[in-house]
Amino acid sequence: MKYVLAPLAGFTDAPFRRLCRDGGADLAYTEMVSAAAIAHGHAATRQLLETLPGEGPLACQIFGATESDVACAARFVSSWPVPWAALDLNAGCPMQKVTRAGAGAKLVEDPEKIHRLLAAMAENTALPVTLKTRLGPHPRQTNIFEILDAAERAGAAGITVHARYTSQLHGGETHLDTLAEVVRRAKIPVTGNGSVKDAASAAAMAATGVSAVMIGRAALANPYIFAALKGAPVRRTPDEMFRAHLDYILDYRPELAVLKLRTHLFRYFSGRPGAAALRARLNGVKSLAELAAWTGPNPLDAPTGDVI
């Protein structure tokens, strides 16, 4: 089975992706990038397309609502000096600032619009074009079969299905029976996604017949989950994960290290004894010099090194 790191806005930046690849991820995605922002040449957006040298297979995910924006983004991303594995369209993000503009999960309501957007992307790139979507807007409207058909007609090379409805946001049960039916009908590879966090949930997802399993939130807590699910666990204590992540952040953009420290690094210790003290210490870090001199999160009891 292939294991894929999900796109997670605000988290799946280059250093975190590198850590997940150490931890066995076969494919990763950029955070979602606004096609409109690319089309309008916003410089800050380019940072989302940055990679670390030698990154493994990486798909670029865009979100957009108009054919002209996604076509323009497809041309721009294709010209970017990264050997992208795919160009992916987000048709699943439920955040209001995305859906209000007609993008993300708003598209789940309109399979024909998904078709037009994917076709516009495919016309403007030689990269494989893929889709990440949901089962439908709500359980009374299961649009995924129309969406699958729309994607296949547009020439999509694959589809990722988060086995939930938009109305569920990121919680509630996953609908693996419906996902299995998608797999049965699909002519293109299907990647399954939704609350895979351990061997049992990965096995349940695999039983639907998907070609790959995508993992999001569970990788935030444990970037080595992929290797563990493959039966080849990489043993790292939270302390070692923290150090490796910090080193990758420092390699990538030292000037962002202090900021990233706060968004990423204290997750490794949440719920452990001494976590509050560690958090306070991390929040107090003001400079790169202090970071470089970091001697390990010693307020904690000895971690177990368990990876799942």
Under the criterion CB under 6 A, does residue 158 sit at the interface with ligand FMN? no
Among 66, 90, 130, 166, binds ligand FMN (CB under 6 A): 90
Under the criterion CB under 6 A, does residue 204 sit at the interface with ligand FMN? no
Distances (CA, A) of 68 to 49, 173, 194, 292: 20, 36, 31, 46
Nearer to ligand FMN, 89 or 275 (CB): 89
Distances (CA, A) of 204 to 39, 84, 163, 182, 228: 40, 30, 12, 15, 16
Among 14, 19, 32, 161, binds ligand FMN (CB under 6 A): 32
Cross-strand pairs, 5: 215
Under the criterion CB under 6 A, does residue 216 sit at the interface with ligand FMN? yes
Give the residue numbers marked as catalytic: 93
Q: Is 214 in contact with 191 (CB distance < 8 Å)? A: yes
Nearer to ligand FMN, 259 or 292 (CB): 259
Nearer to ligand FMN, 77 or 93 (CB): 93
At 276, list the tokens: 């509050």
Q: Which stretch binds ligand FMN (CB under 6 A): 46-54, 179-187, 214-222, 292-300?
A: 214-222
Among 142, 166, 178, 193, binds ligand FMN (CB under 6 A): 193
Q: Which residue pairs, CB below 8 angstroms and at least 24 apart, start in 176-180?
A: 176/204, 176/205, 176/207, 176/208, 178/135, 178/142, 178/144, 179/135, 179/205, 179/208, 179/210, 180/207, 180/208, 180/209
Under the criterion CB under 6 A, does residue 176 sit at the interface with ligand FMN? no
Under the criterion CB under 6 A, does residue 93 sit at the interface with ligand FMN? yes
Nearer to ligand FMN, 215 or 249 (CB): 215
Nearer to ligand FMN, 199 or 288 (CB): 199
Question: Measured on CA atoms in the order 111, 117, 120, 122, is the torsion positive or negative?
Answer: negative
Half-sphere exposure of 20 (CA within 13 A, CB side): 32
Distance between CA 93 and CA 82 in Å, rounded? 25
At 145, list the tokens: 């079969």
Under the criterion CB under 6 A, does residue 97 sit at the interface with ligand FMN? no
Closest CA to 174 of 222, 139, 218, 150: 139
Q: Least distance from C-beta 9 to ligand FMN, angstroms?
A: 4
Q: What is the largest CA-CA distance in the chain?
A: 56
Q: Footprint of ligand FMN on residues 48-67 (CB under 6 A)?
A: 61
Q: Footprint of ligand FMN on residues 247-306 (CB under 6 A)?
A: none
Q: Which stretch binds ligand FMN (CB under 6 A): 123-131, 212-220, 234-242, 258-266?
A: 212-220
Q: Which residues bind ligand FMN (CB under 6 A)?
A: 6-10, 31-32, 61, 90, 92-93, 132, 162, 170, 193-196, 215-218
